[in-house]
Structure 1
């Protein structure tokens, strides 16, 4: 499968420092790819280079195999993007905004296509109202509609859920999933780790402009060398802690918690039973994306 987006050693030097440093990764058709990093890590700078808003220092950006620095017009014809907040003419209706963007497009966009996109982002009831009456979530959906009018194969979104309420975030996540079913690749930059965990197929973590980890969401959550947090509901937490002292157990809210590998749980359970501890329940929780993100970025700082 040929990647929709490929970065090769992309670098942006600002002053004496590299804001983006030798960055390389790919984004595939039909996936939601997350770009994560602390503030100042280089996420927005990377996106701005990909869409041509700022120049590179070195490296290449390929979109469907086309080097954007060799044929910018062809490469960008396959890209839709919202960098920061979508900008619309608030005194026009949503439909008038889309019609205006359609007229500016290099490819012909029919009114049937506009209606198709409006339905896709579920704005049929509001599309003829002025944008100034739209909620933030509606404006975000209108922005996505505008970005996909020309049928791009790559959609790039920088912090798309900023300011949305929980229902708006969930709806937006569903819209993105519907897009990927059509084969569109979506690249999302965000600081909302819990949402990225539910939204993305793969995530890349960058720090100080460098790629320090790239994995699927399942790999982040189930990496075998990392611990699983196990909670034992017992009748005597102090006794249980003494029995599992070598495993680094601790008492939290009157119950026992241990960070261990999942395969160690049966043996620990047996130790507690043989030690006379009554066990009422055992629950385990893999590392969340947030846990893994903090672990990786702290290691990167060191």
Structure 2
């Protein structure tokens, strides 16, 4: 804390809000590589305009990350449990198609939020609006207290974006590529930071090789290193583990958790529900462009009707008869390792389970255990998606 210092925002002249045609932006093009594009007349065909001279000027006045003696020092707002990303009633249309409709959610400092949904649900659209690549047709996104509508350049400087298909400058070596982005983000003496990242990603031996010679997995690692080179307060990860081997996936998962401990705000868009269950603090589920559920990961898993599993030593027929007599609706009975596993659900566990156990004991069954089953995030997700479509 003694290395942290508060630097008040200097008064800046109001800049012209310019938006550009989104159709010139490739779907795989990261925020770092956006170039100036022609202006468009309609909001649904616009993305924020990039002015690199303006970015450089803003960076000199108030960098997204401030350092003392080359030590990372974040502004005080990132140490506190405050809202860093706020999506406010955002709608995004592409012509007549609505990709995102009235979406609202937040991500706080030191928090990992998993954005889940089927293909085409609007996850990538949401992350690119937050990153300042796409302009919202309606609503607004606030990143580190800055509106993407007011100052998309400053928002981009505060975000690290990793997509599932990174677009790299393949004629450059990895060293030159990371140095280029480090200097763009005004990282002083980037050499040690680059060495740290390539070692973490297992790319030290190929630091001077051209990116064109990299495998897909190696390119993904390079994109992750690029996103982290300026130590941004916000990380937007869109299927970041794509093409990574299991060992590297585990390393990257541990890295994400360590970044959470450094008070970064992390939005994880993924189809890997096991990964989301392992590391996310909260979950936002989006389907057909609308947010259908939001909550803590454990709360979503425990929501719904409680389900129970009884492990028994008995024959199936008398067990079914006993539970039926007790008024318990059996969902399944299966044999496993010489024992029966009977499952049922109840809105009144105390009453139902008492009647079930009494009936089973009266029928001569030996009860080995009776446990409350916590559904996986995958089960919860599928149930929520099914419910939203009914």
What is the TM-score when the length of structure 1 is the normalising length?
0.89
Q: 1:86 maps to which residue?
A: 166
- Count of residues in Structure 1 that have an aligned counterpart in Structure 2: 301
Partner of 1:253: 334
Whether the 8 Å CA contact 1:220–1:288 is kept in 2: the answer is: no
1:49 deviates by: 1.6
Q: Shift of the alpha carbon at 1:228?
A: 2.3
Residues 1:128 and 1:270: Cα distance change in structure 2 (over 3 Å): farther
Alpha-carbon distance in structure 2 between the residues aligned to 1:170 and 1:141? 13
Name the counterpart of 1:71.
Answer: 151
Mapped pair 1:100 → 2:180: yes
Residues 230, 260 of structure 1: 8 Å contact kept:
no
Q: Does residue 275 of the first structure (1) align with residue 363 of the second (2)?
A: yes
RMSD of Structure 2 on Structure 1 (CA): 2.5
In our comparison, the structure showing a higher alpha carbon Rg is 2
Q: Which residue of 2 aligns with 1:228?
A: 307
Q: CA deviation at 1:284?
A: 4.1
**2:370 is equivalent to residue 289 of structure 1:** no
Within the candidate set 25, 47, 55, 2:127 is matched to 47
Q: Distance in 2 between matches of 1:238 and 1:168?
A: 50
Looking at structure 2, the residues matched to 244 and 96 of structure 1 have their Cα atoms a distance apart, in angstroms, of: 70
Who is 1:62 aligned against?
A: 142
Pick aligned residue for 1:202 from 275, 282, 292: 282
How far did residue 88 of structure 1 move?
A: 2.8
TM-superposition CA deviations, 1:105-139 (whole Å, max 9, x none): 35545222223333454544554455456554443
Contact 1:158 1:190 in 2 (8 A): yes
**Partners of 2:305 and 2:224 in 1: how far apart?**
38
- Give distance in 2, aligned partners of 1:229 and 1:25: 33
| Distance of 2:365 and 2:143 partners within structure 1 | 60
Whole-angstrom distance in 1 between the partners of 2:329 and 2:111:
39
Calculate the TM-score normalised by the size of structure 2: 0.70
Residues 233-242 or 288-297, more deviating: 233-242
**CA distance in 1 between partners of 2:107 and 2:278 (Å):** 18
Deviation string, structure 1 residues 47-77 (Cα, Å, up to 9, x no partner): 2222222221110110111112112222222
Q: Provide structure 1 residue ranges, at least 5 long, that are not aligned to the other structure.
A: none
- Give SS of 1:4's match: strand
Question: Structure 1 residue runs of 4+, over 6 Å off?
Answer: none
Say which structure, 1 or 2, has more relative contact order (CA 8 Å, 6+ apart).
1
Deviations for 1:176-230, whole angstroms, at most 9, x for unmatched residues? 112112111211111121221113111100111111111111111222x432241
